[in-house]
Amino acid sequence: MDEEYDVIVLGTGLKECILSGLLSVDGLKVLHMDKNDYYGGESSSLNLIQLWKRFRGNDKPPEELGTSKEYNVDMIPKFAMANGTLVRVLIHTDVTKYLNFKAVDGSFVYNKGKIYKVPATDVEALKSPLMGLFEKRRARKFFLYVQDFEESDPKTHEGMDLNKIAAKEFIAKYELEADTIDFIGHALALYTDDNYLDQPAMDFVKRVKLYAESLARFQAGSPYIYPMYGLGELPQAFARLSAVYGGTYMLNKPQCKVEFDENGKVVGVTSEGETAKCKKVVCDPSYLPDKVQKVGKVARAICIMSHPIPDTNDSHSAQVILPQKQLGRKSDMYLFCCSYSHNVAPKGKYIAFVSTEAKTDDPQTELKPGVDILGPVDEIFYETYDQFVPSHDSAADNCFISKSYDSTTHFESTVMDVLDMYSKITGKVVDLSVDLSAASATAEE
């Protein structure tokens, strides 16, 4: 390996694959290696036999669950917002041609022990049983403001400078109740905590608007889309993209060791006695454990069921957000459900996930409020995993490490990390002003 690469990417997790695609399209010479013999790293999709091997060792899956290969169980399940950043990246790189998306049936929020559809427009606000009559009217005014808001048109700002006033001051103008603010902040704007209330209102309004516009996009019951056959399709699509632009892929490369010069700058990666030279390394936390720090952990339950999540209008695919205040927790809990309608399970089977930021080593107790909502399950697996973030100066050593995946069941935070890394690596910003109509998703038949 005498060749020198601009960038060596280690690990084929989703973030690494998106970056390798973006960098290849930019004309950089990319070598992509993985110690595993499969794509996806932490974010891979498993069939039934792989799932059992991972959680139950040598046990065999029961026959009544159906054939193994009909299952594609995501290890990091997430939906994409129809007009969100991930879709813009997919269009910008033209990866959409390798993928087949389908709209997600439902988006729900947990409130006072019950599940409700998330209202996202003035029309839905008036119909929603989440709010009383007077609150509906106040919420309708709020949604109308957001729907009409255009950053470039001051006439739509109603005399407010959203870059100056805090979100809570903006919300106070509408006199919304605490529970309403809770579902708007966590189930529409998708904030993971309440710190946003003290930040400028601009980001908050844009996030709620993105939700409403994504919802209108495919006229489905939710603003989300999800690839047929599961998220394992995404890393492979970006890998194909990288290959089209001259990127090189090597799976099953054991002990990928990052090499540094006397100044601590990266010079290459050694595997099986050969060193490939490079100027920069991109990787997930497992490849450079001494350059990351643990910041928390995620608890997750993976369930195989023979029915949809109750009270979700029989949705074959759905997200339910349980805001932290509703549970008396310090972090939100997320339910994710998909099924045979997205080709991730045999007919009649549903796969549901419950996830949250873990505060203890007992996922069973922590996830109970979410698991209880699911009703009877055929099989359930529990796990916790640590979350790492880079703790080094990437400008000093030219190593760019992704953050571990969080507990959210949507892509917004994941893609922000990718775009931030891209800018650090290249000094440029990805152009996301794309024609959104270039991506389509088939609605439920």
Is it the case that residue 1 has pLDDT exceeding 60? no
pLDDT bin (cut points 50, 70, 90) of residue 295 is very high
Assign 2 a pLDDT band (cuts: 50, 70, 90).
low
- The pLDDT tens digits of the residues spanning 134-184 come to 999 999 999 999 999 999 999 999 999 999 999 999 999 999 999 999 999
- Say what percent of the chain tops pLDDT 70: 98
Say if residue 444's pLDDT is above 70.
no
In angstroms, the CA 249 to CA 73 distance is 24
pLDDT band at 92 (very low <50, low <70, confident <90, very high): confident
pLDDT of 283 over the 70 cut: yes
Predicted model pTM: 0.91
Check residue 442 and give its pLDDT.
63
User: What one-character-per-residue DSSP string does 234-289 give?
Assistant: HHHHHHHHHHHTT-EEE-S--S-EEEE-TTS-EEEEEETTEEEEEEEEEE-GGG-G
Does residue 436 or residue 208 have the better pLDDT? 208
CA distance 71 to 45: 9
- Count other C-beta atoms under 10 Å from residue 123's C-beta: 11
Question: How many angstroms separate the CA atoms of 136 and 252, rounded?
Answer: 56
Contact between residue 101 and residue 228 where contact means Cβ atoms under 8 Å apart: yes
CB of 406 closer than 8 Å to CB of 393: no
Average pLDDT, the chain: 93
Q: CB–CB of 309/289 below 8 Å?
A: no
Residue pair 21/91 in contact by the 8 Å Cβ criterion = no
